[in-house]
Structure 1
Amino acid sequence: MTMVASGMHTGQWITLLILAFALGMDAFSLGIGIGLKGIRLRDIIKLSAIISLFHIIMPLMGMFTGQYVSSLLGNVATSAAGVLLLLLGGHMIYSSLRGDSAGSFDHRTAWGMLLFALSVSIDSFSVGISLGMFAADILLSVLLFGVFGGVMSILGLLLGRRVSSSLGEYGEACGGVILFTFGMLFLI
């Protein structure tokens, strides 16, 4: 078995796969919220690539800082993700209710993509802190997180896009409610 030959136990491999899937599901769920707003295929690819990159960078930063400030920073990172999602979701709801007179969160701008990718990926920073304390295989961990985050965000954005055509003008409000709900869950 190649996993055992490389020094990695089956339990560690399964744990990393489960963590990567869980972080990917977060990107999937939040991707549905943005997809409900309506998104072009080109923007799906760009946004998912940025999310994938953030799903590599954030746990890497977490792993390197995990041995120093694990418990304090883990809670701060989760709270920051919650606040960002509350703000994004609240703004989307507000924009959809106000109509064209209100400026909407624009996921197509560089700032919008970075803000969304950060809010989706910040919880992987917390996971990275934990993995840093357990001396997990850094390269394998961040690659799994990046692949799962990117693929699952593509699937979520595509699903949200498909559903948004059925919801019409209420799609942005529904997406905002999803993001707002996840923000509340992060803070609870």
Structure 2
Amino acid sequence: MLEASLHEGQLLTLLIMALALGMDAFSLGVGIGMRGIRLLDILKLSAVIGLFHVIMPLVGIVAGQYMSLLLGHVAALTAGLLLILLGGHMLIASFRGDGGATPSFVDHRTTGGLMLFALSVSVDSFSVGISLGMFAADVVMTILLFGLAGGLMSVLGLLAGRRIGRSLGSYGEAAGGAILLTFGILFLL
């Protein structure tokens, strides 16, 4: 009986952590969705984000015995800087009226941009994985919950951003950039 309640407690804890980590994917999704995104791109981006939310904590769990305090700070700093870069670029492009002239490293439709976006929202999963590795969390349950939450939250964010972006018209990209920039600054604080 005690073992069953411990397992349920671990499941609930991991589910809450997965949803919290997925909020980054949701907020990024809103920002990208406001620029306008096709349904196929929503599926591709969400699948890659979900995959990164599996790989990054798994790597973190494996490395869980090493340098958790240092890497936790570095992961938050990296995620914050990436989001500031992406949000700042979106803001500048919207004011310049580039009309989609986005460098490939920040364009979610390119392989590099896709990887950059997925990394920016899943790098904190790596540091959480390190902590979980030191506490001997159930690895399979952890990575499945993190991957599902990351993918689902990004789909929801992208769809919400897409709908909001249609309402905002030409201001959608500026609003999305401001959201990403704000989250990047919050990561650094």
Report the secondary structure of 1:9's partner residue.
helix
| RMSD value, Cα | 1.6
Pair 1:99-2:97 in alignment: yes
Deviation at 1:47, TM superposition (A): 0.1
- Distance in 1, Cα, partners of 2:150 & 2:99: 34
Taking structure 2 as the reference length, the TM-score comes to 0.93
Deviation at 1:101, TM superposition (A): 7.2
- Tell me the equivalent position of 2:56: 58
Structure 1 residues 35, 102: closer, same or farther in 2, change over 3 A?
closer
Identity of aligned residues (%): 66
- Distance in 2, Cα, partners of 1:102 & 1:171: 13
- Distance in 1, Cα, partners of 2:163 & 2:139: 36
Taking structure 1 as the reference length, the TM-score comes to 0.94
Structure 2 gap segments, 5+ residues each: none
Q: Which amino acid aligns with 2:123?
A: I
Q: Which amino acid aligns with 2:140?
A: L
- Tell me the equivalent position of 1:89: 87
Q: Which amino acid aligns with 1:119?
A: S
Pair 1:173-2:179 in alignment: no
Paired residues in the alignment total: 185
- Distance in 2, Cα, partners of 1:131 & 1:121: 15
- Distance in 1, Cα, partners of 2:138 & 2:172: 41
Pair 1:121-2:122 in alignment: yes
Deviation at 1:80, TM superposition (A): 0.4
Report the secondary structure of 2:66's partner residue.
helix
Q: Which amino acid aligns with 2:15?
A: L
Which consecutive aligned stretches of 4+ in structure 1 deviate over 6 angstroms post-superposition? none
- Distance in 2, Cα, partners of 1:84 & 1:106: 13
Q: Superposition pairs for residues 109-188 of structure 1, below 5 Å?
A: 109-188=110-189
- Distance in 1, Cα, partners of 2:174 & 2:64: 37
Q: Which amino acid aligns with 1:18?
A: I
User: After alignment, is 99-108 or 66-75 more displaced?
Assistant: 99-108
- Distance in 2, Cα, partners of 1:10 & 1:81: 31
